Amino acid sequence: MTLPLADIRVLAVEQFGAGPWATLQLADLGAEVIKVEDPVSGGDVGRYVPPFNDGEDSLFFETFNRNKRSISLDLRHADGARVLHDLVGAVDVVFSNLRGDQPLRLGLTYGQLKEFNSRIVCCSLSGFGMTGPRATEGGYDYVMQGLAGWMSLTGGPEAPPTKSGLSLVDLSGGYVAAIAIMAGLWQARRDDVGCDCDISLFETALAELCYVGTWAASSDYEPPRRANSAHPSIVPFQNFATADGWVVVACAKEKFWLKLCDVVGRPDLAEDTRFADFAARDRNRDELLPILDGLFAQRATAEWLELLGGAGIPNVRVNNVPVALRDPQAVARAAVVEVEHPRLGRVKEVATPLRVGPEPKPLALAPRRGEHTDAVLAELCGYSAETTAALRDAGAFGPGM
């Protein structure tokens, strides 16, 4: 089987979330991803994230690093830098997720590596990018959600600024970096010249403000936080409390609103001029939503799902995560995969959503720290066992490696 990216090799100076998430997308599509782990800091910090961790193994690390290889290499060591240069000649991409000033300091930019491989694509995913007044600052998902305005948009009207329940800036930054890498590779193969890709979590978070960003940039508009996770302008498009739970109802088209009026037994609402169209319902949401709240509270969730679904109105039950992973659609699509781990036992994780070609790449465990150092250097650089041993003795791979 030839996977889509089977001819791509990535050297990844990465750790924690956003960076490993970026290269995971490539690895799941068949790319050979070689993690460069810093021996001075004990490798990828994700190895130690609780809960469900044992020594240098954790479910967090498994989630981000399946289907990868690991080498230990001290890039600050003179011999380590020389090994890097030899590796660059045998790979297509050098990726890093460090502070914006670190790629240049560690010799990971195109200008510094092109003499070893003129087609190399160098991608940096940092908090704020490689230029600007914040380039030397570290960046984390929580920080970006606050700085980019996300927290001001999330939560109820009386709630304090609130982050998303997931690390969406990290995950989105990873996707953006993966897209940038693919664009850089396409250009390198077309033009025979590599490039730098300078991706930042901050700009990713700003870009994902999307239409809200356009509204704010054009008119300083600040969308108010709405109760029950309501859409900022489309009504009704939100959660409703039922007699025994919650449902999401999404009337994103006028036809759904008209059908909803019949389903809830209030066809008169469709004739009410206060609720005649999107704009009218938005203006008069404070009058409409209490009516709908009272109606939805009268029936159980299962009844509403049947009624709404029968009418073709987009709706779902509000699940917790375990229930979501057992949804019949998730089961039918094999969205949860598993592998046996020698220390963590049976590990179940969410499969890649990237379905390209007939079959996904078989799931492989995340690597042990430095597990593939000798093999990678022999395969990619042609190092003999004696050469590798000498580098190890010199400290290129760090103490104890």
**Pairing, β 32-37 against β 9-13:** parallel
How many angstroms separate the CA atoms of 390 and 394, rounded?
Answer: 6
**Pairing, β 9-13 against β 345-350:** unpaired
- Give the other-Cβ count within 10 Å of 97's Cβ: 30
How many angstroms separate the CA atoms of 133 and 130, rounded?
Answer: 10
How many angstroms separate the CA atoms of 178 and 61, rounded?
Answer: 19
- Give the other-Cβ count within 10 Å of 239's Cβ: 16
Helix (H, G, I), strand (E, B) or coil at 54: strand
Which is the catalytic residue, given 44, 170, 196, 198? 170
How many angstroms separate the CA atoms of 56 and 143, rounded?
Answer: 27
User: Is 293 among the residues known to form the active site?
Assistant: no
Residues forming beta bridges with residue 240, ordered by sequence position: 247
| 67 torsion bin: left (phi>0), alpha (psi -120 to 50), beta (else) | left
How many angstroms separate the CA atoms of 394 and 187, rounded?
Answer: 38
Residues forming beta bridges with residue 32, ordered by sequence position: 9
154 DSSP assignment: S
How many angstroms separate the CA atoms of 57 and 366, rounded?
Answer: 9
Helix (H, G, I), strand (E, B) or coil at 223: coil
How many angstroms separate the CA atoms of 301 and 225, rounded?
Answer: 25
How many angstroms separate the CA atoms of 205 and 195, rounded?
Answer: 24
| 338 torsion bin: left (phi>0), alpha (psi -120 to 50), beta (else) | beta
Residues assigned a catalytic role: 170
